Amino acid sequence: MELLRIVKARQDGSSGAATILIKAASPWAAYEKMYRQLLGDDDIVLVAEKRGISGDVVDIRHFPELSAQQTKMLQSIQHPNIVTVHEIYSNKANHHVVYEHMPRSLQEAVGNPYLNRQRLAAIIGQVVEALVHLEKMGLQHDRLSCSCVLLHPSGRVKLSGQEDCRPLSRRKDLVDLGYTMMELCKDIFLSATTTASSAAELSEVSLT
């Protein structure tokens, strides 16, 4: 689905963000609900399958309200380490956003002995890449936690919650990242988050 969206954007001579459609309809004509899933502490998503031959599996989040600013963030923020938005369904009463499917969050992995130093380094490195991208856009994540760091069995790590990004100020993302990783990697990286002045500087820290 993501590849087709990018190809369509290139054919149209537009950016990928321009092809994220906002539809004044319900998503359930196009998707069939499979089950509810809790990611992290309180992020409830509906895992659904696209109707038709493709059978793409996606995550659908319901928003009681979705402001113009949040919609802009969903459309404009795109990066390999930020969860991909496929479509937005919006009407006066309900708003649904269709994302790529990510099976679990880092919160579910806390305390897992399989999550050794090398794997933590790989996870943290991908999170920092996402923060660097936001920083270059003049934005910060604003509510970074283990719950919004999403994991895929392939090893991909992506941030969710980009709709609530805010203009960059101070070092909030770095402080939040330090707390997020405190129980996961207590030495080198935690120390670095207290001294680094930007996500770009933090990306130069070695965890191996």
Measured distance CA(151)–CA(103) in Å, rounded: 7
Spatial distance between the Cα atoms of 81 and 139, rounded to a whole number of angstroms: 15
DSSP 82: B
Of residues 100, 122, 94, the one with CA closest to residue 109: 122
Strand positions, DSSP E, 30-163: 31-39, 43-50, 57-63, 85-90, 95-100, 104-105, 139-140, 149-151, 157-159
Residue 10's pLDDT is what?
37
pLDDT in tens, the chain (208 residues): 544 444 343 333 334 445 788 999 999 999 999 999 999 888 899 999 999 888 899 999 999 999 999 999 999 999 999 999 999 999 878 899 999 999 999 888 877 777 777 888 888 889 989 999 998 999 998 888 888 999 988 889 999 999 999 998 766 656 666 556 655 555 444 444 454 555 565 455 544 5
Distance of alpha carbon 102 from alpha carbon 150, whole angstroms: 6
In angstroms, rounded to a whole number, what is the distance separating the alpha carbons of residues 52 and 24? 21
CATH superfamily of 2-100: Phosphorylase Kinase; domain 1 (3.30.200.20)
Q: What is the enclosing helix (H) or strand (E) of 166?
A: strand 166-167
Q: What is the pLDDT of residue 119?
A: 84
pTM: 0.77
Is the CATH code 3.30.465.10 the one for domain 104-202?
Answer: no
Domain residue extents for the chain? 2-100, 104-202
Q: What's the rounded Cα separation, in Å, for the pair 66 and 87? A: 14
